[in-house]
Structure 1
Amino acid sequence: MKKIKTIMAIAMVSTMVVGTLSGCGSKTSDKASTAVDSTKPVSIAFWEQDDASAQKILDKLIIDFHTANPNITVKRTHYETEDLRKNFTTASLGTTGPDIVLSPNDNLGVFVPGSLVQPVDTIVGADFMKTLDQKSLEAGKFTGKQYMLPDRNGNEVLVSYNKKLVTTPPKTFEELEAMGLQLKKDGKVEYGLVFNEVEPFFAVGFLGAFGGKVFDDVNSASPKPTLNTPAVTQWMTFMKKIHTEGLIPKESDATIADNLFKGGKAAFIINGPWGFADYTKAGIDFGIMSIPTINGKSPAPYSAVKGYTVSAGVKDVNKVAAVKKFLMFVNSKDAQLKMVVAHQQIPTNNEAIKDAKITGNPLIVGQKDQLSKAIPMPVITQMRAIWDAVKPVQQDVLSGKTKPEDAGAIMQKKAEDGIKALGL
């Protein structure tokens, strides 16, 4: 388990009666419409799973929130993906859990069935919901209810390349492979390509290039895993090949991959837009492109939204009013545009989407091709079992403990057992 990094941003922010809040929703659907004590101190526990550069901006936003309104305490705590999910589930059994969580929308498949979160639209109100992109909002729903307030749209992985090393970007993966290995042979890089080899999210897109998918039908009442297939064998064979030939490192997590690319020691990296700010800060002149075709077929990485959910334990009217005010603040046009600087994804505030900072940003506009080839990540509880099944087997294939041709059957068994353990 990765070390948990906790950062506290304390602010005293005054809560007002909801009827006085700008952009508030209709009284009939607004949980905070009940009169609240405008002087009573309220504490908000805010957990997030975001990049380091985004965390810094979140802290600045919290300070701005404090400056504008002096009476609510906001404590921000950072967790990595798995730690956030597990700790939220555990903390919900007591009184130490968060009031607000910022994370990817696939967590809804765990948060909602676990009764960890509550619908968010009834908190911020119908009028405020209209200020956000409707397509993004759909990705924040589970069983037809709005449990997440997305603040960015995309969250896909794509290829970034070092222009100093790659003057003409490859059109196929075979070209990328040859180029990367040649650069390595010439001593110009340590690795041609890097990515997080621990989390299957970064590599599962390759499965699409071999015609595979992880479920038979994600929209059915009981979707079945489809991992014991020739496509998975081809995927794992491909992964083992680029690992054995040295195109990618023998071991690499997100930090190792980022450091290699930022240090000019890798020509290509498969990562999300959230890494762009760090590459720029490191002085890397980079370009972006879709993950190139393999044998003429495009990989299909997952796309998603990331956003805010509210704990089911938030019931006190003063806490609800404070949570509403915070959510409206961090999802305003100005706040989302500040966050874009870090995550470099399409915002969800309608006015922010139309801003020149977005329409004139080549790193955002340049993502459209990859997004057109991406697949929306399944927001179903069973997806948790898929990740838990693929992750250890992928690592065993790369380490040589498991043969690629055996990987699919092992993944399938683990996924089926995981789904049964979830009671589905």
Structure 2
Amino acid sequence: MKKSLSFFMMLVLVIGMLAACGPQREAQPENTDKDNGTGENKAEEPKPEKLVVWEDTDKGIALKPAIESFEKEYGIKVEFKELGMADKIRDQLRLDGPAGNAPDVVTLPHDQIGQVVTEGLLQEIKVEDSVLETFTESSITAQMFDGKLYGLPKATETPVFIYNKALMEKAPETMDELYTQAKELTTGGQYGFLALFDNFYFAHGPIAGMGGYVFKENDGALDREDVGLNNEGAVEGAEFIQKWYSEGLFPKGIIGESGGAAMDGLFNEGKAASVMNGPWALQGMKDAGIDVGVSVMPKLPNGEPVKTFMGVKGWHVTAFTKNPYWATKLVEHITNEENAKIRFETTQEIPPVKSLIEDPVIADNEAAKAVAEQSQYAVPMPNIPEMAEVWGPMASALQTIATGKAEPKAALDDAVKTIKTNIETNHPAK
């Protein structure tokens, strides 16, 4: 009897132990990747018949090879259509998303991320560190909002120093050197250097290089309460800008909305030795017969680089996709090194892929190399909705500085006051 009882007790004990272990096994997460789009457990993630992508106008030529290799590797059909990236994609997503006709993946300029996330149009993605390490730090920062990642970068652009080799032998290393050359070359309708410094997109370079900033970054998030556009460094940057106008080194015609066309005209007519402009202007210069040289911006008088604004185009997973895992996989695939290189070769859009910066395809291309190098110093344009309140007041301040109607400190103080008031009015704190 004792033996039977002992055996029975042992059996109960074993069953109890197994029962205790059972829930622990079931409580283990099957695969966290299923919810966040990362990992390799494809067998447990149902494959959709197809994914839909919205690409930028005239850029589908670069997307096709990436789609073909994705379809071959994963057996998922991918369809795409082209829409204007600057506005059409965002506006169409607002309509098609709630109607159930949204794509799985879209491309957007990074400075729209904050607004579209706030509107519930995009979803956070999570990828392995090895994927993030593919890209430059600043380009990944540009894809983040409120400390979360909402896409992967596909291309970057930022203003650089462009010069006419017939009028300037080489790019100067410092802005002081450029200033001296400009004073020598500016005469009789000819100019040594031109920049749209009354436009905050370009003026940010010297202002930030001197120590100013738009919104302070704290723990990966931008603090809308901390605006640094009238601090000591910002004022020094504005004073640097003012002297180019006050000393007659810039013509009055490049102030205001028509300034860009006026500057392009002077350079393409051979009447300006150098300009601060973006890679988008190069084709027009070459079409005008100008033998151009391209370099990073010369360093500021304080020894710091010109911290230009950087724009980053990215790929994003929409909030409406029924297949976030595979949509994220597609984003990873079309931004990998191989496909980023193909995109550059077909569109000349410069990928922020670290391994490609030294690749001959970019390193041997003077313009691409200059943009890639300048991007290392550049600051992504703030992508929070409050940035919309910055452009107007800063443009007004810079124009009064350029025309001599206000001193830099007073103009910037007024601008910041207006910016803060508009933020409080149009973006109530949650």
* Length-normalised TM-score, structure 1: 0.70
1:419–1:199 CA distance, 2 compared to 1 (3 A): same
Tell me, yes or no, if the aligned pair for 1:45 and 1:97 is still in contact at 8 Å: no
| Residue pairs, 1:219-368, within 5 angstroms | 219=219, 223-244=225-246, 245-248=248-251, 249-251=254-256, 252-276=258-282, 278-280=284-286, 282-298=288-304, 299-303=306-310, 305-313=312-320, 315-317=321-323, 327=331, 330-341=334-345, 342-343=347-348, 345-348=350-353, 350=355, 352=356, 355-366=359-370
Distance of 1:131 and 1:211 partners within structure 2: 28
Distance of 1:335 and 1:414 partners within structure 2: 44
Tell me, yes or no, if the aligned pair for 2:160 and 2:294 is still in contact at 8 Å: yes
Partner-residue secondary structure (3-state), 2:166:
coil
Give the deviation of 1:417 after TM superposition: 1.9
212-221 or 62-71: which moved more?
A: 62-71
Letter of the aligned partner of 2:167 in structure 1?
Answer: L
1:205–1:259 CA distance, 2 compared to 1 (3 A): same
Partner-residue secondary structure (3-state), 2:226:
coil
Partner-residue secondary structure (3-state), 2:314:
strand
Which residue in the other structure is 2:47 paired with? Answer: 35
Letter of the aligned partner of 1:183 in structure 2?
Answer: L
Which residue in the other structure is 1:393 paired with? Answer: 397
Tell me, yes or no, if the aligned pair for 2:160 and 2:276 is still in contact at 8 Å: yes
1:175–1:121 CA distance, 2 compared to 1 (3 A): same
Tell me, yes or no, if the aligned pair for 1:105 and 1:305 is still in contact at 8 Å: yes
Tell me, yes or no, if the aligned pair for 2:105 and 2:316 is still in contact at 8 Å: yes
Distance of 1:308 and 1:201 partners within structure 2: 23
Q: Give structure 1 stretches of 5+ with no counterpart.
A: 1-23, 49-54
Partner-residue secondary structure (3-state), 1:192:
coil
Q: Deviations over 1:218-265 (max 9, x none)?
A: 447664112334544444444344235152523445555445434433
Q: Report how many residues are paired.
A: 377
| Residue pairs, 1:15-414, within 5 angstroms | 26=39, 33-37=45-49, 44-46=53-55, 48=56, 56=58, 58-62=59-63, 73-80=79-86, 83=87, 87=91, 91=95, 95=99, 100-121=105-126, 129=131, 132-133=134-135, 135=137, 136-152=139-155, 155-187=157-189, 189=190, 191-196=191-196, 199-216=199-216, 218-219=218-219, 223-244=225-246, 245-248=248-251, 249-251=254-256, 252-276=258-282, 278-280=284-286, 282-298=288-304, 299-303=306-310, 305-313=312-320, 315-317=321-323, 327=331, 330-341=334-345, 342-343=347-348, 345-348=350-353, 350=355, 352=356, 355-366=359-370, 370-371=374-375, 373-375=377-379, 377-398=381-402, 404-414=408-418
Tell me, yes or no, if the aligned pair for 1:104 and 1:304 is still in contact at 8 Å: yes
Tell me, yes or no, if the aligned pair for 2:312 and 2:380 is still in contact at 8 Å: no
Tell me, yes or no, if the aligned pair for 2:104 and 2:318 is still in contact at 8 Å: yes
1:337–1:274 CA distance, 2 compared to 1 (3 A): farther
Letter of the aligned partner of 1:271 in structure 2?
Answer: N
RMSD: 4.2
Letter of the aligned partner of 1:408 in structure 2?
Answer: L
Tell me, yes or no, if the aligned pair for 1:152 and 1:307 is still in contact at 8 Å: yes
1:293–1:310 CA distance, 2 compared to 1 (3 A): same
Partner-residue secondary structure (3-state), 2:293:
strand
* Length-normalised TM-score, structure 2: 0.69
Q: Deviations over 1:97-154 (max 9, x none)?
A: 77644344343333333322112447xxx5993783373445423344321111235x
1:184–1:410 CA distance, 2 compared to 1 (3 A): same
Letter of the aligned partner of 2:417 in structure 1?
Answer: K
Distance of 2:358 and 2:232 partners within structure 1: 44
Q: Give structure 2 stretches of 5+ with no counterpart.
A: 1-36
1:325–1:74 CA distance, 2 compared to 1 (3 A): farther
264-273 or 376-385: which moved more?
A: 376-385
Tell me, yes or no, if the aligned pair for 1:346 and 1:358 is still in contact at 8 Å: no
Letter of the aligned partner of 1:114 in structure 2?
Answer: E
Runs (4+) off by over 6 Å:
65-71
